[in-house]
Amino acid sequence: MNKFYGTGVAMVTPFHADGQVDYEGLKNLINYLIDGGVEYLVSLGTTGESATLNSEEKKKAFAFTAEVVKGRVALVAGIGGNNTHEVIEQLKKFDTTGYDAILSASPSYNKPNQEGIYQHYKALAENTPLPIILYNVPGRTASNITAETTVRLANDFKNIIGIKEASGNFDQFNQIMRDKPEGFLLISGDDPVALPMMALGAVGVISVIGNALPRQLSDMIRICLKGDFKAAQKPHYQLIDFTKLMFIDGSPAGVKTALKQLGICDNTVRLPLVQVNNHIAEQIIKETQKIVQ
């Protein structure tokens, strides 16, 4: 699964001012990211505001993304939800053309226990047309995939190939790395801790800030893959302020502000999200200019 080593970007979904999907902006973004050297792209993850797109919009966005990418980099589809049966139906209907894997977040709101989480992913693994990358993000789902459950799933299902870990729990990361089967991928789901996670053995990051700074981030991640964490510290620290600004007033509103400054796409988000406030926007613009100058 070397195609998922390095930098993956959880792409934003550009919108026009009226809220409709901006396909020209999406094309600009895809080409910008590939030109920036990232290893793979994630379409319609959380950062893509997938919760606010209807089924037809998702189908069209998935197909358009695959058409623009044209196999130049690996491509992952974000398909998840808190209704296991419905997610299975989405997987069965999904056109896999151009896609290499599914990224599926743990069910939100229901707050299943660990057996419920296991059974959810078991059902997905038995019905998926592509390999699955688990996504643990307790800050959004209100439940955690424990290290024990992650390792259990990794051992029981060969088509569950990795986990995007955004729990921030290094005890958990340690346990996954110690107990996981060979070849199972630990991927950072948090930009600020990508470097220390890779020092433990993570193979890269699925990033938000990479939307705006693909070259800067992917260069740093490749240094980490070489094991030169001392050299990676300088670019890591240079990205700290930018990364904070991306999340301080909501994501992906922050990174869309940076993308507008870069001329890639507009900064429109769909309700219930709103654009960052003017004070934060000014800081994002200033920091973006400083880094990309």
Catalytic residues: 135, 164
Rounded distance, CA 255 to CA 280, Å? Answer: 11
Pairing of β 6-10 and β 40-43 = parallel
How far is C-alpha 122 from the geometric centre of its chain's CA atoms? 22
Strand runs (DSSP E) across the chain, as ranges? Answer: 6-10, 40-43, 74-78, 101-105, 132-136, 160-165, 185-188, 204-207
Residue with tokens 């007033």: 249
Residue 130 DSSP class? S
Q: Which residues does 237 contact at the CB level (< 8 Å), separation at least 6?
A: none
Residue with tokens 């590939």: 34
Rounded distance, CA 290 to CA 293, Å? Answer: 6
CB 290 within 8 A of CB 278: no
CB 239 within 8 A of CB 217: yes
CB 98 within 8 A of CB 69: yes
Rounded distance, CA 11 to CA 212, Å? Answer: 10
